[in-house]
Structure 1
Amino acid sequence: MNRLGAASAVHLAAGTWLLIDLWRAWTPTLITIFGQAATTPPELIGAFAFGCVLVPVLLVAVARRLGREGTFAAAALVVALAGRVVLQLTDGGHLHLVVASVAGIAAMTWLSLALPRHRDAAVTGVVAGLAVAVTTHAALGTWGAVWRDDVWAWLLLAAQLVACLATMRTPAEGRGVGRRFALTVMPGLFLAGVIVANAGRASATLGEAGLAAVAFGATLAVAATLVPVTRVSAAAAALVLTGAVAASALVTDADGLLPAWTVVAFVVGMPALAHLWRAADHGDRGTSMTLALGGLVWVALLFAYYAGYDLGYRADWLLVGVALVIGIAAATTPPAPATTAPPRTLAAIGVTALAVGVVAAAAPALTIRPFDASEPRDDEVRVAAYNLRMGYGMDGVFRPKAVAAILVSADVGLISEIDRGWFLNGGQDQLAILERLTGRTAWWGAAADPVWGDAVLVDASRARVERRALPSHGAVTGAQAIAVRPQGPWESTWFVSTHLQPVGSDEGVTAQSADLAAWLRELGGPMVLGGDFNLQEDSAAYDNVIDVGLVDAAPGGADTSPADAPVKRIDYLFSTPDLVASDVEVPGLRASDHLPVVATFTRR
């Protein structure tokens, strides 16, 4: 790649990094500001999203008609950059939704117009941008830069601005990309965001080692765009990509958790995808319009996958299907003339991949600093039950510090509705972020899928842990219960976190509460039970819990939902009679759509 090609690759990489950051800011607003997950009809949220990604199609059509693709691309990039700066300054709400939508539209318009103009660097530029986006996100401990107000967020934003603006005037060198690359770039970016370049999911799989793996794999993928493509190498890449996606999307252990060995998906998945993109980039019939229409495919895949959690189906096989289609499309493309980068370039990329892997694993300890916590007392334990709504408050802002402040004020956190890597929610491992902020250990219970569920957060590195998947009884979202006996003065007491899922209405958890009660009887012994039960105090479901022999910490207590104007009490703390509850509080915090319930328990 000559100097012009390198400048083009840097330009495309910077813009792709910007686009991914904007997606991380935009997709959560669809279910926290425009609508409400599990409440607003998915088809309405989907219609809004489709409307947004249709705009780049119209803008590209106008640019092509006027013959001003370069001007439109530059203007779109400036709008996207301005929006990114504004997002760093906004404080949520509808302004965030509007700015994120406009900036995302602009960034997708830019990508559609820019790739054909820099055709020789198109694949390498997109893959390099993915590598930078993944590495920086991992280094931030998966706490998205757009949701932070610290020096790290501003340094990364400054680097993004400089990289985009400094290369904006790079001369165009082409008029089109390979048609199959143009058709698969957006589905590939979807697949990368959900699975193979998802730092949140990698963190949920193997912690810091997972972050190292995903950063290493994404960076090594740049080299996969600079080596010759043959029919054999393309077919092998197709098999590797499909296998990597299947391993991470479909394989779980007996408790529904991601096995540690599936971390290999993040090491090999992105290089395989990158090599397939290179194979698909043959000819120049892929136009800016083809790329813009790919945005519609991207949003269709996004909703086809995530709507299943509200509509009652699991779409994991969709991911495997997308990988298969990309693999077949690329592997059956006639091979382009063989070119390869100099060995020293490939070696340099390999060394860089190792270095960024180390940085991705080590940096979160520096970029997320823990709160100071008071020493626990042996004669009492303070417990907080909190439904976190994936970490997003009533204003649609991700506020882990506010959540951590509540949790660190207690000794034990019984937390639910935790997201550990949904691309729809920004690809953040919320549980790992809270572990770092509180300096405590989290014990995870998967519910809806391996990266969405409940946890117990406690200051103990060793514990006895029991998990139980609860039958759905027709509920569209999975439910579970996790019980932890932490090593220390309270090691004889179970701390149990759960989130019951209603069927058809707010009071549809009677059968599931009976299943929970039966399991609690099996556990036996002193216990504190907390979570979002989706039940009322005068219901049969409430009686099922009480009949286990548990005592409500605050009968007739304060309403907890929704957080901005509570009208119902559905979040509870219960305990066995040998524990006495006192100092029960329901802090008025809007870092979720629920309010937390906090109480102190002492032994009789």
Structure 2
Amino acid sequence: MTAAAAGRQEDRAEGGEPARRRLRSRGSACLAALLLTGVTGLLGFRVADSDGFTPVPQLLAFLPWLLAPTVAALLLAALARWRIGLVWGVLALGGVAWFLEPYGRADAPDGPAVAEIRVMASNVEFGRGTPGLVDAVRKEKPDLLFVPECDYTCSDTLRDELPRAEYPYRSGSEASGAEGSLIVSRFPLKKASGIPGTLGMPGAVAELKDGHEIRVQLAHPMPPLPEQVGVWRSELAGLRDYAAAGKGGSTIIGGDFNATQDHAAFRDILDTGGLRDAARLAGSARTPSWPAALMSPLGTQIDHVLATPDFSARDARFLEIGDTDHRALVVDLTLHRQEQDR
């Protein structure tokens, strides 16, 4: 090889490394742009107060975990030295952080305490989690128990295993599989119509010792499966209408809402019905309840206890009961006397 040919080959080799760096930089920038486009699109629906269409409702349930792709996009933009991407990423990160804040009011009612009520909500997944629920009830001793997906066997087990002297009252939708649901109570229950739905959503009116009545309603709308988003939205609207119809009275709604605070249809229940999320009031607003197989803090909170503003809340806990894909929620509510009650 001549000296001139060797020099030309060395020049080409030296020019190859910058070209490879430029190629890697473009790849990093493209991947960052792809991630930020997805994050920004979801944030757009959240800002617009809309649940959109599949896959938006499904992804909105995990909105807090948009932090991961947003941070990854920022790192990729930094590697690529892409200034627009860095600014875009910072704005997206700020948007996600903004919506991490718990939604809804958290102020305590002013009136004196009337009654203490411990509430438990536990989806037992086709009845499979019933044995664990029985153990949890014996330990936690709730006054009101909401049990979505309580099939015939679950209903019979709770009747046989829970002391009848302590839990003599129930209101349920007797059915197999996910369609069965049950409310169990220490307080006398008067019949109520409940809410029509694909899955059982029974209701009742609980009568306290002082004569105060509380509307109680189990929530279990259809999940937002790709082919069922319309049904999911409609059944959440049914819960919203139920809450709005009881304004001025005491109401507790508990169960598996298949929705989080990042779903517009769920926020509409709070806003229109004047309800507040008990976990939010008690400081556990982002604790995940599903799927239980994932380690906390992974997952999302779709199990809730909602109450009217005459309730305060404390000590909200999410319990592993076993053999179900949901964690049970236990929260202590205090009913306060309002001005109109005096």
TM-score bracket relative to the smaller structure: 0.5 to 0.7
Paired letter, 1:515: G
d(CA) in 1 for partners of 2:166 and 2:326? 24
* Equivalent position SS for 1:501: coil
Query: What do you get for the CA RMSD once the two structures are aligned?
Result: 3.1
1:130-149 Cα deviation digits (max 9, x unpaired): xxxxxxxxxxxxxxxxxxxx
State the Cα distance separating 1:497 from its structure 2 match: 1.6
d(CA) in 1 for partners of 2:227 and 2:205? 28
State the Cα distance separating 1:511 from its structure 2 match: 1.5
Which residue in 2 is equivalent to 1:486?
207
Please list, as runs of the form range in 1=range in 2, the aligned pairs for 1:57-76 lying within 5 A after superposition: none
Paired letter, 1:600: D
Equivalent pair of 1:498/1:532 in contact (CA under 8 Å): yes
* Equivalent position SS for 1:493: strand
d(CA) in 2 for partners of 1:452 and 1:434? 22
State the Cα distance separating 1:504 from its structure 2 match: 2.0
d(CA) in 2 for partners of 1:505 and 1:433? 39
1:2-43 Cα deviation digits (max 9, x unpaired): xxxxxxxxxxxxxxxxxxxxxxxxxxxxxxxxxxxxxxxxxx
* Equivalent position SS for 1:541: helix
Structure ID, larger Rg: 2
The structure 2 residue matched to 1:570, chosen from 302, 313, 317, is 302
Which residue in 2 is equivalent to 1:298?
none
Paired letter, 1:392: R
Q: Which has the higher strand share?
A: 2
1:251-307 Cα deviation digits (max 9, x unpaired): xxxxxxxxxxxxxxxxxxxxxxxxxxxxxxxxxxxxxxxxxxxxxxxxxxxxxxxxx
Aligned pair 1:551/2:276, yes or no? Answer: yes
Aligned pair 1:404/2:162, yes or no? Answer: no
State the Cα distance separating 1:445 from its structure 2 match: 2.5
* Equivalent position SS for 2:209: coil
The structure 2 residue matched to 1:384, chosen from 120, 127, 135, is 120
Which residue in 1 is equivalent to 2:225?
504
d(CA) in 2 for partners of 1:390 and 1:435? 19
d(CA) in 2 for partners of 1:450 and 1:590? 17
Structure 1: unaligned runs, 5 residues or longer: 1-376, 473-477
Equivalent pair of 1:414/1:495 in contact (CA under 8 Å): no
State the Cα distance separating 1:467 from its structure 2 match: 2.4
State the Cα distance separating 1:521 from its structure 2 match: 2.5
Paired letter, 2:293: D
Aligned pair 1:419/2:151, yes or no? Answer: yes
Paired letter, 2:190: R
Structure 1 length-normalised TM: 0.32
d(CA) in 2 for partners of 1:399 and 1:600? 20
Q: Which has the higher helix share?
A: 1
1:317-373 Cα deviation digits (max 9, x unpaired): xxxxxxxxxxxxxxxxxxxxxxxxxxxxxxxxxxxxxxxxxxxxxxxxxxxxxxxxx
- Share of identical aligned residues, percent? 23
Structure 2: unaligned runs, 5 residues or longer: 1-112, 337-342
State the Cα distance separating 1:506 from its structure 2 match: 11
Given the superposition, is the C-alpha separation of residues 390 and 561 from structure 1 closer, same or farther in structure 2, using an over 3 Å criterion?
Answer: same
Paired letter, 2:267: D
The structure 2 residue matched to 1:601, chosen from 333, 336, 339, is 333
Paired letter, 2:332: T
Aligned pair 1:441/2:164, yes or no? Answer: no
Which residue in 2 is equivalent to 1:540?
264
Please list, as runs of the form range in 1=range in 2, the aligned pairs for 1:189-204 lying within 5 A after superposition: none
Q: How many residues align?
A: 213
d(CA) in 2 for partners of 1:583 and 1:506? 37
Given the superposition, is the C-alpha separation of residues 400 and 504 from structure 1 closer, same or farther in structure 2, using an over 3 Å criterion?
Answer: closer
Say which structure, 1 or 2, has more relative contact order (CA 8 Å, 6+ apart): 2
1:93-145 Cα deviation digits (max 9, x unpaired): xxxxxxxxxxxxxxxxxxxxxxxxxxxxxxxxxxxxxxxxxxxxxxxxxxxxx
Equivalent pair of 1:419/1:430 in contact (CA under 8 Å): no
* Equivalent position SS for 1:510: helix
d(CA) in 2 for partners of 1:592 and 1:438? 27
State the Cα distance separating 1:405 from its structure 2 match: 2.5
State the Cα distance separating 1:448 from its structure 2 match: 5.2
Which residue in 2 is equivalent to 1:457?
184
Equivalent pair of 1:416/1:453 in contact (CA under 8 Å): yes
Given the superposition, is the C-alpha separation of residues 466 and 480 from structure 1 closer, same or farther in structure 2, using an over 3 Å criterion?
Answer: same
d(CA) in 2 for partners of 1:481 and 1:582? 26
d(CA) in 1 for partners of 2:174 and 2:246? 19
Please list, as runs of the form range in 1=range in 2, the aligned pairs for 1:282-301 lying within 5 A after superposition: none
* Equivalent position SS for 1:564: coil
State the Cα distance separating 1:505 from its structure 2 match: 4.4
Paired letter, 1:573: V
Paired letter, 1:510: R
* Equivalent position SS for 1:581: strand
Paired letter, 1:414: F
State the Cα distance separating 1:572 from its structure 2 match: 0.3
State the Cα distance separating 1:434 from its structure 2 match: 4.6
State the Cα distance separating 1:559 from its structure 2 match: 0.3
d(CA) in 2 for partners of 1:579 and 1:529? 12
Given the superposition, is the C-alpha separation of residues 451 and 554 from structure 1 closer, same or farther in structure 2, using an over 3 Å criterion?
Answer: closer
Given the superposition, is the C-alpha separation of residues 494 and 538 from structure 1 closer, same or farther in structure 2, using an over 3 Å criterion?
Answer: same
Please list, as runs of the form range in 1=range in 2, the aligned pairs for 1:493-532 lying within 5 A after superposition: 493-505=214-226, 508=229, 509-524=232-247, 525-532=249-256
